[in-house]
A and B are shown apart, each in its own frame.
Chain A
Amino acid sequence: MKITVTVNGDERTADVEPRLLLVHFLRDTLGLTGTHWGCDTSNCGVCVVWLDGKPVKSCTVLAVMADGHTVRTVEGLADGATLDPVQQGFVRCHGLQCGFCTPGMMMTARWLLDHNPDPSEDEIREAISGQACRCTGYENIVRSVRWAASHEREVAPR
């Protein structure tokens, strides 16, 4: 069936099978390969994107369910050449290694900071607890999010 999804601000229309997963729609149909696919039981969270402003595991959403809705992916995180503070935090604090979990982690982190600008370590750990990382042992991911929180509060006090 024909669906129209607003992805990172652009209207994207495609004819898809009803069973197509959102993660495959983003990756295979739209070529937005920053979002990854890491398990088949909704545990790992490497496919996290925003659907109507909320993080979802896109392997657990059908593309047709996104018809008429908005999706934000890792490709929509930076403002042109300027990285989002979360992206900067991950670089500065070495919050990634192989980079496979990174897009999903950053989408959750961005959402967390939008709703809780000064999260504690426990709050960050809980926010990313639905997402696995095999490389970092999580420590530097927590630091990355903390860095972004401090940095953006300095730049733009809320």
Chain B
Amino acid sequence: MKILVPVKRVVDYNIKPRVKADGSGVETAGVKMSMNPFDEIAVEEAVRLREKGAASEVVVVSIGVQQAQDTLRTAMAMGADRAILVLSDESPEPLAVAKVLKTLVEKEGPSLVVLGKQAIDDDMNATGQMLAGLLGWGQGTFASKVDVADGRVVVSREIDGGTEQVSLALPAIVTADLRLNEPRYASLPNIMKAKKKPLETIAAADLGVDMAPRLSIVSVAEPAERKAGIKLGSATELVEKLRNEAKVI
């Protein structure tokens, strides 16, 4: 079977984001960009399924600007077989992304789509669920374990009070949580090999999908700063402060 893995280029998770002075968004010019960490986990899981013989091909896809091809090359260096870049100017909303992905699913015919559970820039946590809805497929979100057998996928899901298992008929959607696996590093030889793997580019405009945003940004602001705290010398002092100054105990 074929596995499709959507990946997103985002501001690197180690960078502290800065809000633009005009309040229109977060500064991304000249900032280090990387693959969304949850998407690395999704790529790793897909590659492991292929290595176990449960899948025959792993196709990665990204929707965004030309530089997103770096993200796709990284995914191919991790083991993905080929890549598709859907070129689009703006960073589209999950609804538009899900619609674009639906057209690619119909074209590529994967049995499984593995996504990250959320992107660390917009923190939406929606694209996988929306794609599953549009396709009428089952969804195994926040996956910490994935087993494919007998035309079904059994997914262990991280829920609020513990873990739950659901069984889904294939084709299906899985979204990766942090504990699903530890993504591998791309070795130098694999990075070189990835440069020769096929990367197809499609213009989003050619897919006939309405990409217009439904949410308009009124403003983006820094959260309120916490006022500077104080260092104390002892537990006695701390309990006294918590009782008499902060009055929380």
- Is the A/B pair a real complex? no
Residues of B near any A CB (own CB < 8 A): none
Residues of A near any B CB (own CB < 8 A): none
